[in-house]
Structure 1
């Protein structure tokens, strides 16, 4: 999808003013020294050292920035221009790519001088419940095609009380979409600290169906 008009508007974009407080709120937390690295700590724990990581729906850049500080080669993509601008104010030089998941192909990434395959693809912070309507399977497939051999995908979203404009995405429906996209669920937890599953939040670790398990297990510290 090379033309901007080919990308349907996301639930995030359609929510309008309901989303305006997100970037400034997290910028204030960062400026105040608050801990906003919960997702990044889990990503760092499951990734090989110095991993190539794609942060899909990077928002104002907090996960991308935290993972770079931990030594990873991170490409962040974010379609919302206001959040891309916020990311540069909070993390100067972070250089998020202004891309939607649905237009992020290996060819597009290569044209931007970025890696085209990743050990880990991350889509946390409710990205999947704010995608354009009926594009979830397509987004999963697009991200699957950016995984390096043995690569994995980490996704997290609210099951209840999600942000403005978000959809309800029951675990059983997400699992069906995962399977339709040629992926399998390796782990389902209730938080980024790997609490048991619950009705409020879901964290998913996915891999390509039929791929060898534990391919990166020797890459830990």
Structure 2
């Protein structure tokens, strides 16, 4: 299957600051576990968790440290290398979201698609990605999604909340919750955190 290039790929070097920023925060001992804390609360103990677009590994590693069985996926070679250097015990697959095969990977109690991953998918693939995520869910499984609703950096798209909800519905999922942060603040205009499940 030939996959369209992701917006992240097309942005190229313009996105290199992402990994550097979080590496610096890790080195400084900053709290970078907001997504992981919420993901942990959404999952049963020892859950199977899939981290789509795991970046430099911070969310996947935090969930693994909490006892979950984590599969991390990151197509960017530079971010995979940074993940190996920062979290050597975390295995990371090189797959794009549309390459994740339920027949190969099995099903998951929780799928995390955080860190603005939805904004950097290949153009026009959002619904297909959401359908693939749906197919990877175990019975009763949930999806944690988080992204900025306003433009953030070169290469990313703007993804209005109503358009996202329409794509979620078309993909056979439904919104269970919407928050304004990973600390469960009320919905906001600049950032959205979503909990989804199969419709």
Is the pair's TM-score, using the shorter chain for normalization, greater than 0.5?
yes
Matched, 1:187 2:183: no
Counterpart CA distance in 2 for 1:197 and 1:15 is 29
Gaps of 5+ in 2: none
| TM-score, scaled relative to structure 1 | 0.88
Shift of residue 93 of structure 1?
A: 2.8
**1:63 equivalenced with 2:53 (yes/no):** no
The RMSD of aligned alpha carbons is: 0.9
> Which one has a bigger Cα radius of gyration?
1
**TM-score normalized with structure 2 length:** 0.97
**In the alignment, which residue of structure 1 is the partner of 2:15?**
19
Q: Deviations over 1:66-116 (max 9, x none)?
A: 00111111100000011000100111131100100011012343xxxxxx1
* Match of residue 86 from structure 1: 82
Stretch moving more, 89-98 or 52-61: 89-98
Is the Cα contact below 8 Å between 2:64 and 2:70 reproduced in 1?
yes
The alignment partner of 2:92 has SS state of coil
1:148 aligns with 2:138: yes
- Secondary structure of 1:27 counterpart: helix
Aligned equivalents of 2:76, 2:129: Cα separation in 1: 17
Residues 25-54 of structure 1 deviation map (CA, whole Å, 9 limit, x = unaligned)? 211211221110000000111111111000
Residue 68 of structure 1 aligns to a residue in which SS? helix
Aligned-partner Cα distance in 2 for 1:183–1:34: 34
Separation in structure 2 between the aligned mates of residue 162 and residue 148 of structure 1, nearest angstrom: 33
> Which structure 2 residues correspond to residues 44-55 of structure 1 after superposition, within 5 A?
44-55=40-51
Tell me the residue number matched to 1:178. 168
Name the count of aligned residue pairs. 199
Tell me how far apart the structure 1 counterparts of residues 15 and 27 of structure 2 sit (CA, whole Å): 20
Where structure 1 has 5 or more consecutive residues not aligned to the other structure, the ranges are 110-115, 210-221
